[in-house]
Structures are given as structure tokens and as C-alpha cells.
Chain A
Amino acid sequence: MTTPMLEIRNLHARIEDREILKGVNLTIPAGEVHAVMGRNGSGKSTLSYVLAGKEDYEVTEGEVLLDGEDILALDPSERANTGLFLAFQYPIEIPGVATMTFLKAAMNAQRKAHGEAELSTPDFMRAVKDAGRDLHVDSDMLKRALNVGFSGGEKKRAEILQMALLKPKMCVLDETDSGLDIDALQVVSHGVNALRGPERSMLVITHYQRLLNHIVPDVVHVFSDGKIVESGPKELALELEAKGYAGFDEVAA
């Protein structure tokens, strides 16, 4: 049997005294795209933060294996260098840090972690330009401070641009559709789809079925009260849209 790209076993996590993840089990084989759907407050975003290693959350039980390696003891940068990427629902605005400076630092940090030489400036510029073209990221956007004054669409495009440049094995997309109009959704989805491949898996977190028309998943999981309560083929998303989440709460009970 081949090693799954991501394997989450009985994951429990809390913030302060409140338990939010209550035994998540999820296995994503290499090359597959899985969607996690659930209502607001069900713990979907917490799952993405716990995977990426945000400090506020305490894992009390369980394991997370990325390509067979336990990542829970790693800090966020080490997880990124292992091949995990989180596209944020709300990308953080960082005044004073130029987008280009940040992109170069991130790319070189990962190259360094992999024992590779730093990118030359022309190579870096070319990579950014190539990746930016399809995502409609122009040089004006790149000259600005990171995410500062970006529109909702620009922020999400910048996230996907980073994903394209960093070439992660495992992408976690947290509510990537939030704040996007139809046109922007198409650009972003196109960017994500272009990155699909046999060596790359994705976990798409959303509470609308809409996004899944554009990024068609292999498997859909229903998330409720801190765990996965139902899994099925992509049609499950349509069923969920028709029945609402309430129908699945009973399964959990």
C-alpha cells in the first residue's frame, strides 16, 4: 500500500478550555482533492490552523502524518518546508514587508531547508512573472506591501500565487471562495486546478457547494461538531446543499 499524502488520526484540539476538534479521522491519498464541508463554527477553520501549526491551538490527542511523517512536533515554518501549504481564509496584511521581498524570503527559506542554493534575482523574477500571468497578478500588486490594500480577490489570487511558487505536496484551502465574485472565483479556481497533479493533494474547506463546481473534488466529507460525520463521492455535496447540514447532525448524534 502506498503512503497517503495526509493522514489524520483521531485528532483532538482545543483553544483555551474549549475542545473544538473531537476526533478527526481523514486520509487523503496522493493526487486526490478532498473537500470538507460544514457549517460556520463546526471547526473546519480550526482544522486548517491545527494542520498548519498555529500556536493558539493545543492538540490533546491524535496524529497528523504528512507523507508518512508526523508533523505535530514541527513549528509552522518546518511544516511548510515539509510540503504543507495553507491558503488563508483571511490573508494577513503586513505593512512594511514588500510582497516581492516576502515571496523571495519564502522561496529561499524552503530552498535552504531542502539544501538547494538561493534563487538568483532574474530566476526569481521570471518564476513570479510566469506564475502571476494566469492569476492576473500584475507587477503593481507585487510592488505593494504584503496584502495591504489588496481587494478580497487580490488577496486570494496572491495566496494561490504563493502556492504555485512554493509547490507544496499538500495544499489546504480554507474558504478560498469567501469574498470572491464569480469572475474572481473562476480565476482562482483555474489557478488551483492548474496545480492539481499526481504528486499533490488538496484539502478544500468550504461551506458552499459553489466552489466545488469549479474545483471538483474526488471525495467530500461532512464536518459537524468537530469531526467528520459522513464521507462520499462528489455528489454528496449536492445532497448536502439540498438537505442542509441539519440532516447530518443527527448522524453525528
Chain B
Amino acid sequence: MSMHVPVRIGPAEATLIAQLNERGDNPAAERLAASGLPTRKVESYHYTDLKMLLRAVPGLSHVEKALGEPALRVPGAHRISMTNDVPDLDGNEPTGVRVSTTKGSALSERDDVLVRINSALAVKTLKLELSGTIGTVLHIDRRTGGGAGHMNDSVHLFLADGGKATVIETFSGSDEAHVANHASYVALAKGAELTHVLLDLSAAGSTSFATAEYQIGADAKLRTVTIHVGSALSRINLFARFTGEGAHADLTGLNLATEGQHSDITLELLHAVPHCSSKPLFKQVARGRSKAVFQGKIVVARHAQKTDAKLMMQGLMLSDEAEILSKPELEIFADDVVCGHGSTVGALDEDSLFYLMSRGVPKAEAEAMLVRGFLKEVLDPIEDEELRTALEGVVERWLDSK
């Protein structure tokens, strides 16, 4: 017999409960009131105790106009800006891109607090339906504007049979204590090929949550690149699922954490069908007093035979005060599969540093060369050169900004 001990509700939770009730999602509000935000006792939030880390939630955001320069410019890309969930559409979308908006959030129901909040609070979803080969990179420039606000936006991306596209979504916004909770739903139909970049460039004082859900159809090829740079507190959920046979996914990411940041990327990949392969590769770099977290779980369903999955996390610590936490997991229910996982963390190699310096390269530059070299494996496979160069620029600015 266990006794039910009611959880203590903090100010952040109280605000969230009120907002959920205000939007009419009483079950979500009741659920949050009963269990509170997840603490370290909840396995999937073990390293990111939201009850402790999320101290306050501002009022719900209001509609704002996109102002100023985007946080990232990708030359040649078609940019669609969206500020506090309102897309700025000019009707000049490239051939093969159909844009519309639908009501509510794009995410599937799931037992996750961020998903529940987005599902309750996202008013509408920007829907992009892509078909054929999209000749230009699509840049969805998602911003949190105005004064400090709690913002839930949502994007639905569908790539039709045999389609080919490269899409980057950036998160950025005004330098306020925003709490943004983004959602992306990405579906690849049969034989589709997609490169999907999620890049968090949010302001230093903000909190940025995001959930990206991937449905990978038969014979599809997906490359994801999830990059954290901005925001003081960040949690990115990646939920990927193979829904058709013969598909391949390279799920990759760079988690860059700098002084004062706590950044968590959590991946859950479900091999639900046979004959799919996946290669999750995540690199984390932490400097100053910061914490970088990666959790990667691959689940292979009972009938998902001939699955080939290899998960790798590599961490690089640039200071003694930095923390890198990594938890790779495999849950395999099938018996004819090749699965593996690995996780390594270390400092910069002293011998490599000495070698570069012995040729006259100053210490700071030698360190930067080694970090760049460490991250290259994730950026190099990005096919579009302009996009790759723009992302290399993001890494350069991160290296320069310490």
C-alpha cells in the first residue's frame, strides 16, 4: 500500500497549470497539478530536473511582427519567418512547396510534459507539404518576439513520395526571459530524402524547449542535424520512428554548451519495422561552468529483424568545471539485428595540442582547430554547401565567443 503524497507546486508549475486551464485543457492541467514538472526521479529527465531548473514561466506570448535580421542567413535559401507562431507568408514559395496553417499542434500524443504543454497551448501549425525535388534550401526562421513570454509554436513538414529537400529550422528571439516550447512534426513518405537541421540560436537569457518528431517511411533517407548554441536552459526531444522498411536515418547533432548553460538533447528512436538502418552520432562540447546532456535510446521492436543501428556519443570537455553527461541505451526485442552503442568523453588531446603548437600555431588557435576537427564529422555530410558553410560559421562564432 502506498500513500499518495501531493507534490509541492512551485511558481513555474502554478503558471503552467493556470495557462493550461485558461486554454481549456483541464486533463493536462490536472496531470501537471498531480505530478508537477519532472524531477530527476523521472528517467527521461534524470539529468534535466525541470522542477528545479525552470524557476518561472512568463505569461503567454502575444502576436508580434518579425523585426530585424534573422539569426542566421543561408545564402540562396527561401526563408519563411514565423514570430510567436504567426508565419509571414509572401506567396512566393518555391515550386513544390505548399504552405497552409492548421489548428492546434502537429505533435502526436505522447507521455512527455513538453509535448503535453505544446499540444495544449499551440494554437496553430504551419504546414509545409513538399513534393518533387526542392531546388532551394527552406529556412523556417522561428522567433520568439516582444517582451518575455511563454510561446508554443508548431510546424508540420511532409515530404511526398520520392521527394528531396533540405530544411533548416532556427530558433531565435529577442533577448528576454522567454520560455519557448517548439514543436516540429516531420514525415517522410516512400523513398523521400530529407536533410533536416534544427538550430537553437535563442537569446542567452531564454529557455528553449523543442520536440521534433520524425516518421520515416519505406526506403526513405533522413539526415537530421540538431544543434544547440543559444539559450540558458535547453531541452530538445527527438522522437524518431521507422514506419516503412528499407529506410536509413543519420540522426546527428552538436550540443555546444558554454558558461552558465544547461543543454539536453534526448533521442528516442524506434525501429518498428524490419530492414532499416540508423546511425545516431552526437557530439557534445562543454566549456566554462556548463552542462551538456545527451540521452540516446534505440528501441528495436520484436518483429524489426535485420535492423542495423549504431549509436555514438562523443564528448569534449574544455574546462574542469564543465560537465558532460551521456546515457546511451538499447532495448532490443528482435533476435536478428546488429546494434551497438558507444560513449566517450575526454579533454583535448595534449599531444595533438603540443604538435600543433610546435609548428607555431598559438594555443587558442590550436585548440579551436582541434574542436573544429572534432565537430567536422557531423557537418561534413551536409550536402548543400551554402548551408554547411553557414553552420560552420555558427561553430566559428561559438569558438570565438568564449
Partner of B356, one of A79, A81, A94: A94
The residues of A that contact B365 with a CB separation of less than 8 Å are 105, 109
Let me know if B91 is at the binding interface, CB within 8 A: no
Let me know if B361 is at the binding interface, CB within 8 A: yes
Cβ < 8 Å to B, chain A residues 76-134: 76-77, 79-81, 85-86, 88, 91-92, 94-97, 101-102, 105-106, 109-110, 113
The residues of A that contact B351 with a CB separation of less than 8 Å are 92
The residues of B that contact A20 with a CB separation of less than 8 Å are none
Let me know if A69 is at the binding interface, CB within 8 A: no
Number of interface residues of A (CB under 8 A): 30
Q: Is the CB of A94 within 8 A of B373?
A: yes
Q: Is the CB of B361 within 8 A of A96?
A: no
Let me know if A210 is at the binding interface, CB within 8 A: no
> A96 and B377 in contact (CB under 8 A), knowing A75-B363, A113-B360?
yes
CB distance from A104 to the nearest CB of B (A): 10
Partner of A76, one of B352, B358, B375, B377: B358
Q: Is the CB of A106 within 8 A of B359?
A: yes
Q: Is the CB of A77 within 8 A of B373?
A: no
Number of interface residues of B (CB under 8 A): 24
Q: Is the CB of A97 within 8 A of B361?
A: no
CB distance from A211 to the nearest CB of B (A): 21
Let me know if A46 is at the binding interface, CB within 8 A: no
Total A-B residue contacts, Cβ distance less than 8 Å: 79
Let me know if A222 is at the binding interface, CB within 8 A: no
> A106 and B361 in contact (CB under 8 A), knowing A88-B355, A92-B355?
yes
Partner of B362, one of A91, A94, A102, A109: A109
Partner of A109, one of B354, B355, B361, B373: B361
Partner of B372, one of A75, A86, A96, A110: A96
The residues of A that contact B362 with a CB separation of less than 8 Å are 77, 109
Q: What per-residue 1/0 map shows which CB atoms of A126-154 lie under 8 Å from chain B?
A: 00000000000000000001000000000
Let me know if A190 is at the binding interface, CB within 8 A: no
Let me know if B56 is at the binding interface, CB within 8 A: no
Q: Which residues does B use to contact A, with CB under 8 Å?
A: 349-352, 354-363, 365-366, 369-370, 372-377
- The 5 sampled A-B contact pairs (Cβ below 8 Å) are A54-B354, A77-B366, A86-B358, A96-B376, A109-B359
